Structure 1
Amino acid sequence: MKLLRFIFGMVWLMLLTVTHTSAQHKTNMWFRVAIDQSINHRWKTSYELHHRRQSSLHHENPLQASLLYAVRPWVHYSLNHSVQISASPIAYYHQLPLLMKDGSSGTHHVNELRSTLGLTVHHPLGKRFTLKERTLWEYRNFDNNTESIRSRFKLGIEYKIRPSWYVTLHEETMLNLYHSEQPMHFDQERLNLNIRKVMNKHLELEMEFAHIIRNIPSAENHLKESNLLLHLNFKI
């Protein structure tokens, strides 16, 4: 019951935040469920299910319509306590059309296959702070015969409030290094505030606010989003 109350409380807080901050922004709600399985002290696998919902531009309801469904498996290898190599051989993403100001669709349905290789490094700074950096390289293949290679670099600082509570502020920049239809260009900029609660050795909950500046090729200006994320991480 405590777990259910905590989850409902987080969702209510996210919806309340959106209602009061989204009048001039497009808002989304992102949900992710991850199942992590440790093979030994170095190897770990993870399976992620993603669902995102959206509002039309300047609308207050972030649950108005579906935006994305995705399945993404991972394999992680830890070189030591601070360095981890990650690979997602293939992931499937299905993105629905973006809703614009009048509720009309600004894009089309898109299916994507994605392969990812990444490196994560943690730098402990005393007993409570940890500097975190992550670099990803993604090969993306879309159903309209478009291909791209995208780099992602994330840098953040985590603060341990209590043994089971953590707060992280991080920034992530994404660049399309190669695109079959466009020269190298900016893709996204993300600024995130994450709150993580370790419920027990098998379950973690995360609530996150993300401000995103997104490049839309068909639009004259960058699209600004306020996104609220809820993650459930199961460990077996």
Structure 2
Amino acid sequence: MKSKISTVILIAVCAFPFKAVAQEHINSWFRTTLSIPITEKIKTDLELQHRRQNDFEGDNLFDKNLMYTFRTWIYYKQNKDVVYAISPFAYFSNYRIIQNASDAISKPTNEYRFSASVELQHELAGNFFIVDRTALEYRAFEGTIENVIRLRNRLSFRYDFNTKCNVSIGDEIFINASGTDAQHFFDHDRLFANFSFKPKHNLKFDIGYIYISRLPRNNIDIVEESNFYLNFTYIVQKRKP
């Protein structure tokens, strides 16, 4: 059923006539996560994120601010194949994507976000999995910007080399269900590749690349982005009784 929904969304997006922008943005994403197990099935994550972007007519992916984020997550692992998650609070400071010189000095837009998701995985063969994640987000903006309800669906394939490292590839599509006009029903699409490594049982690094086709709400042109990211996770160890 989920694959049918994803197919319908993809067909709907492809039906919209978008123009592509010649300039491609190059961004760098960094995220630090403190993961705290509560029980065997429940954990909570605290995330800090910072993204940077290239300046107008520049190619330095660390040049200008793109985003600051603080986010909380609560996860419930029903079993090894089903995980539910709620983000009761997230704060985003979003800087404008630089498409002309004046964008570099614009003030950021502040956003509060509330999210819920379900992630399903199925083992296709030995250590090879298909993973589907569907999420619903409510985005509340400060100022006069209309709030948005956004749907996102990610389908990926993961191969576990062992308990310490794995690789995955996939695609995630974002759809605006409300708060925008019909032309901006499509928000953006992410094509990604990820390598995950745990040098210790309580430390994890994710390194990867995401290619994004984005339609900003104040634009009618598709913006293309190359994003290189590094995520660090520290897992707090539960004290033994």
TM-score (norm 2): 0.83
CA distance in 2, matches of 1:70, 1:53: 12
**Distance change in 2, residues 1:162/1:79 (3 Å):** closer
**Does residue 1:235 correspond to 2:239, yes or no?**
no
Q: How does 1:6-17 map to 2 (within 5 A)?
A: none
**Does residue 1:224 correspond to 2:224, yes or no?**
yes
Alignment correspondent of 1:193:
193
8 A contact 2:26–2:227 mirrored in 1: yes
CA offset at residue 100 of structure 1? 2.1
1:160-196 Cα offsets, whole Å, 9 max, x none, are: 23442211001000000011x5246000100000011
Task: Tell me the amino acid that sits aligned with residue 216 of structure 2.
Answer: I
Task: Tell me the amino acid that sits aligned with residue 55 of structure 1.
Answer: N
1:33-85 Cα offsets, whole Å, 9 max, x none, are: 01111111111100110100000255220000111101000001111111011
Alignment correspondent of 2:29:
30
CA offset at residue 97 of structure 1? 2.6
8 A contact 1:26–1:59 mirrored in 2: no
Alignment correspondent of 2:47:
48
Which of the numbers 98, 102, 105 marks the counterpart of 2:103?
105
**Distance change in 2, residues 1:58/1:171 (3 Å):** farther
Name the % identity.
Answer: 28
In structure 2, the residue corresponding to 1:206 is in which secondary structure?
strand
Gaps of 5+ in 2: 1-21, 237-241
1:73-106 Cα offsets, whole Å, 9 max, x none, are: 00011111110110001110001232225x3307
In structure 1, the residue corresponding to 2:192 is in which secondary structure?
strand
Task: Tell me the amino acid that sits aligned with residue 227 of structure 1.
Answer: N
Q: Would you say how many aligned residue pairs link Structure 1 and Structure 2?
A: 212
CA distance in 2, matches of 1:116, 1:82: 20
Gaps of 5+ in 1: 1-22
8 A contact 2:24–2:223 mirrored in 1: no
**Distance change in 2, residues 1:57/1:169 (3 Å):** farther
- Runs ≥4 residues deviating over 3 A: none
CA offset at residue 27 of structure 1? 0.6
In structure 1, the residue corresponding to 2:88 is in which secondary structure?
strand
CA distance in 2, matches of 1:194, 1:83: 21
Measured on the aligned residues, the alpha-carbon RMSD in Å equals 1.7
**Does residue 1:89 correspond to 2:88, yes or no?**
yes
8 A contact 1:31–1:50 mirrored in 2: yes
Task: Tell me the amino acid that sits aligned with residue 226 of structure 2.
Answer: S
